[in-house]
Amino acid sequence: MHIRNFKQSDRECILELGTKVFREDDEIPLLQKALGQCVSELSFVAVEDKAIIGFTLVCVKMTNVYYSFLSKIPNCYELAFLGISPTCQGRGLGTRLLKETLLAIFQRSTHFTCWLLVDTDNYGAIKLYERTGFRRWVSTSADKTFTPGHIMGLSYRRYLRLIANLEARPPSACRQM
């Protein structure tokens, strides 16, 4: 398995995978929009046996305006989608894609903010985002979003602290045989 930048030629495969992962009524139209406006150098695909098994799509222009304050944040990026094939979930692929994506955003803009919307019942994704430094900003209701969710964000300050903490950790001790 390897991770590479998104290419326009990946669109059909990502959309096909998206139909297995996301809701047809609200998420698939937003996925189609994100595929048209995502930033290739900030978006990634995971490929295994010549098939796309996971992806991230990052947009500078929001796929949907949930709250006006989001459009006022400077150097703001939307993690519009992170999708992993159901047969490949639980292998750490989401973590790897997310880390690669955040590193690319940081390399582009060292003073960034990245935000996302996640359903409140998507416990695995919330755990992944929180473990990666995202914090809940606003909880949404079905009148704002299709289902209740959390708008979560990660600032460059928190990202830098996370990186510093990871680098400061001593390597784990090897067990004696």
| CATH number for 66 | 3.40.630.30
Chain-centroid distance, C-alpha 4: 15
Q: Would you say residue 81 lies in a domain?
A: yes
Domain-embedded: residue 173:
no
Residue 167 pLDDT: 74
If we measure between CA atoms, which residue out of 17, 6, 22, 23 comes closest to residue 59? 6
Nearest of 76, 74, 88 to residue 45 by alpha carbon: 88
Separation between Cα atoms, residue 54 and residue 128, nearest integer Å: 15
DSSP 88: G
Among residues 16, 22, 56, which one has the least CA distance to residue 39? 56
Confirm whether 177 is domain-assigned: no
The per-residue pLDDT for 99 is 95
Q: How confident is the model at residue 138, as a pLDDT?
A: 92
pLDDT at site 67: 84
- What is the sign of the dihedral through the CA atoms of 32, 58, 116 and 140? negative
Task: Please count the helices (runs of H) and the strands (runs of E) in the chain.
Answer: 5, 7
Tally of domains within the chain: 1
Which residues in the chain land under pLDDT 70?
Answer: 169-177
The answer as to whether 88 is a domain residue is: yes
Q: Are strands 44-48 and 135-140 parallel, antiparallel or unpaired?
A: unpaired
The pLDDT assigned to 162 comes to 87
Task: Specify if 30 maps to a domain.
Answer: yes
pLDDT at 64: 85
Where are the strands (E) in 8-162, listed by range? Answer: 44-48, 51-59, 76-84, 113-119, 135-140, 149-155
- Say if 74 falls within a structural domain: yes
Range of the domain at 160: 2-164
DSSP 3: E
| Residue 132 included in any domain | yes
Give me the phi and psi of 50, to 5 degrees please. Answer: 65, 15
- Please tell me the distance from the alpha carbon of residue 32 to that of residue 92, in angstroms, as a whole number: 26
